[in-house]
Structure 1
Amino acid sequence: MKKIAIWLGLSILMMILWVAGLMIGNLIFPSNLMEMETDSDGAAGFIFFLVSALNAGIILKLIYKARYTGWKLAGLVFLVSFGIQYFMSQIETVWFNDSLGLPGNGIATIVLGGAFTLVTFTTIAIWITGKFKSEPDKNNNTPRFRFSVKKILLLSAVIWPLIYFAFGYLVAWQFEEVRLLYSGTREIDSFVEIMKGNFQSGLYLFQIFRGFLWVFIGILVLKMARGTKISKGILLGLLFTILGSSGLLLPNPIMPEMVRIAHLLETSTSSFIWGFIIAWTLWQPVPGTEMENNKTE
């Protein structure tokens, strides 16, 4: 009951900080982002609370499962959550901004506002959960695990681009509105033709770069979270899905309605699969070094 109360309270806090962050970002990087109209309706407030609750809940789950405490925990939780929710999404916004048309100051507002929101939220959440202790729990020492360079390369250069382009084509690209926004035509080419264009434009190389960043974030979560390989995979998949995709539940001023829905369907499915694959592929603790606490937090 106490954890539910904490979650609900932090969900409301997330809503407040989200708005405050955008206002602060807009003060430093003035833009028309706050004034741009969306196709929101009376349900927007409930959806906003739902998105805030989902984000607060998954960050709380990471905090509860973490083997660290104090400022080390705060720094890692911020790095993971900001990396997924803001950095990874906005570097892709920059790549596709010719189609999206988001002002540069608008991107800066989102990134700065997100940093403020998550720094403040993470600090308060760790304090409320009682994990701001001066000393880490010595019964939960970080296990050493093998880093396979070959597996990291395979994940970043092959598996991630395959997931990204397959889901992009089979899910998002099947929506006429998506094709019209990004290509200027309603016609749909074959997957082979699309991939030729992705290689020529450099998008494939860009996704390899993003793949390395995703794997880096995944390694941070694997090292900090307690649990079995399966539980770590579920946690990482949910982090990628909720922090990376839940914002698409909200109407936004840069994506037509059907484009937003298409990307929501595309990313919410692919992100979970991708997170689970990272955990399943990379998590190989050195025998005798892992001191796990597998209790459900």
Structure 2
Amino acid sequence: MKIIKKIAIWLGLSILMMILWVAGLMIGNMVFPSGLMEMETDSDGAAGFMFFLVSALNAGIILKLIYKARFTGWKLLGNVLLVSFGIQYFMSQIETVWFNDSLGLPGNGIAAIVLGGAFTLIAFSVIAVWITGKFKSEPDNSNDTVRFRFSFKKIVLLSAVIWPLIYFAFGYFVAWQFEDVRLLYSGTTEIDSLVEIMKANIQSGLYLFQIFRGFLWIFIGILVLRMVGGTKISSGILLGLLFTILGSSGLLLPNPVMPEMVRLAHLLETSTSSFLWGFIIAWTLWQPATENN
């Protein structure tokens, strides 16, 4: 019966996510008028199915985080909001701002996305925490003796070396292999060597920007690791799925900013690299401290 109840909650929250997503876009566009509501539609219902699929994936992974969390009440709600909004909207939109010369998204459009996303996730998180009973239930103190130490040296290594390595490797060997991607961001279909591209990335400041993003990703990862129990592997899988689903599933939907092949290239690039990155963060930083520590 518990499984049936959880499935029913998931399906109900998936539909709720769809409604709140549309409502969030409408609110965002009312406050910051833009053309974001002019999305492509598909008369055969394929777009509607994809929208439900994306909503179900997002609702499902947030629910998984809530169920695994040791926190309850407002502490749980605050952490769920920070994690979900941070991954789905903040981390993606600061990169949109960086590349906006190529994407051409109006400032009002970015503001509308952020405001609409905040509305959607605040409303969804409140209802999800309430409907799962986590507002009233007692916190799980079974792992209180298991403390976590996060090495600053490891954090610097991850953000300054590992994350840029993953980001630029997947960017070049996956996304940059698509002609449409090269044309959008460089204005030409010519493909330079990785060395030449990295020189340009360092000169433009993109490498430093990704170090900054690496620190932010790790901050989100630490929030998740402090929230949930489980083993190093299970925590790594959860964090990888959070990064992948919340950060990349929106690319399953057509959007007015990216051409079709660019969207699909970024979907392939980010869905794979994000899972790997999330797993590496958990694997590297998950370190239960012994009583002697």
Q: TM-score, normalised by structure 2?
A: 0.96
Among 1, 4, 9, which residue is 2:12 paired with? 9
Using the alignment, how far apart are the partners of 1:248 and 1:63 within structure 2?
Answer: 24
Q: How does 1:161-240 map to 2 (within 5 A)?
A: 161-240=164-243
Secondary structure, aligned partner of 2:289: coil
Q: In the superposition, relative to structure 1, how do residues 120 and 142 fare at CA in structure 2: closer, same or farther (>3 Å)?
A: farther
Using the alignment, how far apart are the partners of 1:92 and 1:63 within structure 2?
Answer: 27
The answer on whether the counterparts of 1:143 and 1:223 sit within 8 Å (CA) in structure 2 is no
Secondary structure, aligned partner of 1:138: coil
Residue 139 of structure 1: how far off its partner (Å):
3.0
Q: How does 1:1-297 map to 2 (within 5 A)?
A: 1-35=4-38, 37-38=39-40, 40=42, 42=44, 43-133=46-136, 135-141=138-144, 143-288=146-291
Q: Which residue identity lines up with residue 285 of structure 2 in the other structure?
A: L
Q: In the superposition, relative to structure 1, how do residues 59 and 142 fare at CA in structure 2: closer, same or farther (>3 Å)?
A: farther
Q: In the superposition, relative to structure 1, how do residues 71 and 61 fare at CA in structure 2: closer, same or farther (>3 Å)?
A: same
Using the alignment, how far apart are the partners of 2:242 and 2:80 within structure 1?
Answer: 11
Q: In the superposition, relative to structure 1, how do residues 233 and 111 fare at CA in structure 2: closer, same or farther (>3 Å)?
A: same
Using the alignment, how far apart are the partners of 1:26 and 1:182 within structure 2?
Answer: 27
Q: In the superposition, relative to structure 1, how do residues 41 and 265 fare at CA in structure 2: closer, same or farther (>3 Å)?
A: farther
Residue 148 of structure 1: how far off its partner (Å):
0.6
The answer on whether the counterparts of 1:172 and 1:263 sit within 8 Å (CA) in structure 2 is yes
Q: Which residue identity lines up with residue 38 of structure 1 in the other structure?
A: E
The answer on whether the counterparts of 1:40 and 1:251 sit within 8 Å (CA) in structure 2 is no
Partner of 1:293: none
The answer on whether the counterparts of 1:167 and 1:270 sit within 8 Å (CA) in structure 2 is yes
Q: In the superposition, relative to structure 1, how do residues 142 and 205 fare at CA in structure 2: closer, same or farther (>3 Å)?
A: farther
Q: Deviations over 1:11-36 (max 9, x none)?
A: 0000000000011111111122213x
The answer on whether the counterparts of 2:254 and 2:260 sit within 8 Å (CA) in structure 1 is yes
Q: Deviations over 1:217-250 (max 9, x none)?
A: 0000000011000000000000000000000000
Matched-pair identity in %: 84
Q: In the superposition, relative to structure 1, how do residues 169 and 233 fare at CA in structure 2: closer, same or farther (>3 Å)?
A: same
Q: In the superposition, relative to structure 1, how do residues 8 and 169 fare at CA in structure 2: closer, same or farther (>3 Å)?
A: same
Residue 143 of structure 1: how far off its partner (Å):
3.5
Q: Which residue identity lines up with residue 57 of structure 2 in the other structure?
A: L
CA RMSD, 1 decimal: 1.3
Residue 102 of structure 1: how far off its partner (Å):
0.4
Structure 1 residues without counterparts, runs of 5 or longer: 290-297
Residue 41 of structure 1: how far off its partner (Å):
5.4
The answer on whether the counterparts of 2:166 and 2:277 sit within 8 Å (CA) in structure 1 is yes
Q: Deviations over 1:47-87 (max 9, x none)?
A: 00000000000000000000000010000001000000000
Q: TM-score, normalised by structure 1?
A: 0.94
Secondary structure, aligned partner of 2:215: helix
Residue 136 of structure 1: how far off its partner (Å):
2.2
Q: In the superposition, relative to structure 1, how do residues 98 and 39 fare at CA in structure 2: closer, same or farther (>3 Å)?
A: farther
**Count of residues paired in the alignment:** 288
Residue 38 of structure 1: how far off its partner (Å):
3.0
Using the alignment, how far apart are the partners of 1:80 and 1:21 within structure 2?
Answer: 18
The answer on whether the counterparts of 2:146 and 2:290 sit within 8 Å (CA) in structure 1 is no
